[in-house]
Structure 1
Amino acid sequence: MTQPAPSRRHTIAEDLRNQIATGRLKPGERLPSEAQLAAHYTVSTPTLRNALTLLQGEGLVEKIHGTGNFVRHPLRRVTYVGGGSTLSAQSDEPLRTTVRTTHLRAHGHLTALLKVASRSPLTEFLCVSHEGRSPHSLARIYMPRELAPAGVPEGLLAARLEQLRPRMAEVRETVSTRLPTPDEVTALRISSTLAVLSITRVGTDAAGRVVEAALLVLPGDRADAVFTTHHTPKAGRSEA
């Protein structure tokens, strides 16, 4: 049976993919403009952009708005370890993390997430990890304001939270995959067609009070998740 001919966007993507694989296009190199590439391949600009979208979804090309399309450096994969500390993404070498602190009032989904009344004072930590100059993943961590540390240096947030918040007696994690929001596309410089690993983690203390809620977004082309369950064997009953 005759196979259908590949579409022009797939043909263009395959040619650029081969150039990247063989080193003709090197990591960090800026591609020719979309207009130049469209003229080179004798296709319309929308067809050329569709081809680039395929490569962006594979993590081979990064589009920086206002600057152009660049060959991505090989992405470092991280492993999210379930039930761990606040920032549980691990890799051979730590990624650089920037932290932005904002004071706000509970509203919308935050009231249900933290089980607080509307307009209760909260603190949000927006954490963006970077590999080199490229954003790698992001997390939004919310805490009741009276529990939140002040003046946290970059890279020390997890340690400070461990010191100051009440010990978490239970951690509940909800994991799903979805397409990124427009804000996430911009913040992480990823394709809108690249699925992300979305993790909502809520930690409560022994009294059932929510002491921390974290919303983590890990692009699917660079993240794995591992959850380990430890079973405690029941003590055997002695026979009479």
Structure 2
Amino acid sequence: MPKPHDEIADDVRSGTFVRRSRTVAVRDNGRHQWEKDRARQPRTTRAATGVTEHDTGLTGDDLVFSARYRTIRAPGDLASAFGVPEGTALLERSYRTRHTADPAPFGLVTSYLPYSLAAANPDLLDEANEPWPGGTQNQLHTVGVEVDRVEERLTARPPAPEEARELGLPPGSAVILLRKTSYDLGDRVVEVSRIVLPADRTELVFTTRLERW
């Protein structure tokens, strides 16, 4: 079940403060194995639910989703991450998902794939095919890539003005910056995501399973 979170929000129309309920997204690192387990499942299984539903307990009918694609030339930091020359073509995908009752998205997600890798399946170049059943791991599976591991790095800072506006953050809020890097079986970086999460309604859970003696 989704977790409601009451917060004080500014009602611009009346100049007063109102209390409204917003859904908390609980991001567990087990989500990556969950996504991988579904990557080779039939389309009907993959289409039934996605990672946002997994994180929030909501259903597809509760959500509003949008995607925007464009091709960019890799700047220095992304070129270094992918191990390619600066200026190499990347496919940039920007995603926004929100609850139908909330104008603000759960986070600001920007994902990058090497353009040459994505182009092996032309369907991956078309934003009209989003939301893609099975997400990025299934998309990579269609071009022969199996994800071996996912590395996530977290930092925090005050939001930039445009981030605060888009996320509907009250003054004094913070954002969590999550950089996700996916590696294939050959230790090649196949996807990098930059995710800006509102700290006031995001819960991060990390479970570390230890091998038995």
Question: Normalising by structure 1, what TM-score?
Answer: 0.64
CA distance in 2, matches of 1:199, 1:83: 16
CA distance in 2, matches of 1:67, 1:121: 47
CA distance in 2, matches of 1:177, 1:196: 6
2:29–2:207: 8 Å Cα contact kept in structure 1?
Answer: yes
Structure 1, 66-75 or 205-214: larger mean CA deviation: 66-75
Structure 1, 194-203 or 86-95: larger mean CA deviation: 86-95
Amino acid at match of 1:187: E
Q: Can you give the 5+ residue segments of structure 2 that lack an aligned partner in the other structure?
A: 1-5, 36-49, 119-123
1:99–1:128: 8 Å Cα contact kept in structure 2?
Answer: yes
CA distance in 2, matches of 1:163, 1:138: 21
Q: Tell me which residue corresponds to 1:184.
A: 163
Counterparts of 1:25-40 in structure 2, within 5 Å, are none
Query: How many residue pairs get matched?
Result: 176
Cα distance change, pair 160–72 in 1 and its aligned pair in 2 (3 A) = same
Counterparts of 1:160-175 in structure 2, within 5 Å, are 160-165=135-140, 166-175=145-154
- Find the partner of 1:125 among 79, 86, 93: 93
Amino acid at match of 1:199: L
CA distance in 1, matches of 2:212, 2:150: 22
Cα-to-partner distance string for 1:109-139 (whole Å, 9 max, x where unaligned):
2222333210011011111121225122221
**Cα distance, 1:155 vs. partner?**
5.4
Q: Tell me which residue corresponds to 1:60.
A: 8
Q: Tell me which residue corresponds to 1:213.
A: 192
CA distance in 2, matches of 1:127, 1:231: 34
Cα distance change, pair 161–232 in 1 and its aligned pair in 2 (3 A) = same
Percent same amino acid among aligned pairs? 24
**Cα distance, 1:164 vs. partner?**
2.9
1:121–1:144: 8 Å Cα contact kept in structure 2?
Answer: yes
**Cα distance, 1:84 vs. partner?**
2.8
CA distance in 1, matches of 2:178, 2:25: 14
After the TM superposition, list the runs of 4 or more consecutive aligned residues in structure 1 that deviate by more than 6 angstroms. 66-70
Counterparts of 1:8-23 in structure 2, within 5 Å, are none
Higher-Rg structure is 1
Q: Tell me which residue corresponds to 2:111.
A: 141
Amino acid at match of 2:8: L
Higher relative contact order at CA 8 Å, sep ≥6: structure 1 or structure 2?
2
Structure 1, 171-180 or 70-79: larger mean CA deviation: 70-79
* Higher share of residues assigned strand: 2
Question: Normalising by structure 2, what TM-score?
Answer: 0.71
